[in-house]
Amino acid sequence: MTRTTLSIAAACLLDDSGRLLLVRKRGTHAFMLPGGKHEPGETSLQALLRELDEELNLRLTENALTPLGRFQADAANEPDTRVDAQVYVAALPHPVSPAAELEELAWLSPADNAPHNLAPLLREQVLPALLQHLG
């Protein structure tokens, strides 16, 4: 069986209280970071800026994003699929609401116990790296 790997870009968006924004796509159960798949020819930053605009009506500049790292894990909503994610950190400059395919937003304080329905990439890789980054 062939496993597919999706190249994605995602953002750890933090509000003024240091809470992490989580999103859930329509028809799915897992919460994940905002972001998405690269379109042909896009860099990770270009893909992320486009996805944040589409999903949250959030327009950030490249300068607002700090690289956190590159992480791989099983995809949350697609069987036999892995994600290869370039993840960035940014301050959330204003309140946002879900658009496009997003159904729900949630907030997670990085020190809180993670809920059971987090995407594997977020739970296993990104949260530990983010906690270390925020130090």
Q: Collapse the DSSP code of 124 into the 3-class scheme (helix H, G, I; strand E, B; otherwise coil) and give the result.
A: helix
C-beta of residue 78 within 8 angstroms of C-beta of residue 117: no
Residue 97: phi, psi to the nearest 5?
Answer: -135, 155
Euclidean distance between CA atoms 115 and 59, whole angstroms: 28
pLDDT value for 40: 93
Q: Name the one residue in this structure whose structure tokens are 């949350």.
A: 76
CATH topology of domain 4-134: Nucleoside Triphosphate Pyrophosphohydrolase (3.90.79)
- Which residues, including other chains, have CB under 8 Å from residue 88's CB and lie 6 or more apart? 9, 10, 11, 12, 45, 48, 65, 66, 67, 68
Block mean pLDDT (10 aa), the chain, length 135 = 88 95 94 95 96 96 97 90 96 93 92 87 94 90
pLDDT value for 1: 61
> Two tokens at 74?
């099983």
pLDDT value for 115: 85
In the chain, what are the domain boundaries? 4-134
> Two tokens at 73?
């894990």
The reported pTM is 0.93
pLDDT value for 112: 81
- Count CB atoms within 10 A of the CB of residue 23: 24
C-beta of residue 20 within 8 angstroms of C-beta of residue 115: no
pLDDT value for 52: 97
Q: How far is CA 134 from CA 24, 66, 80, in A?
A: 24, 12, 33
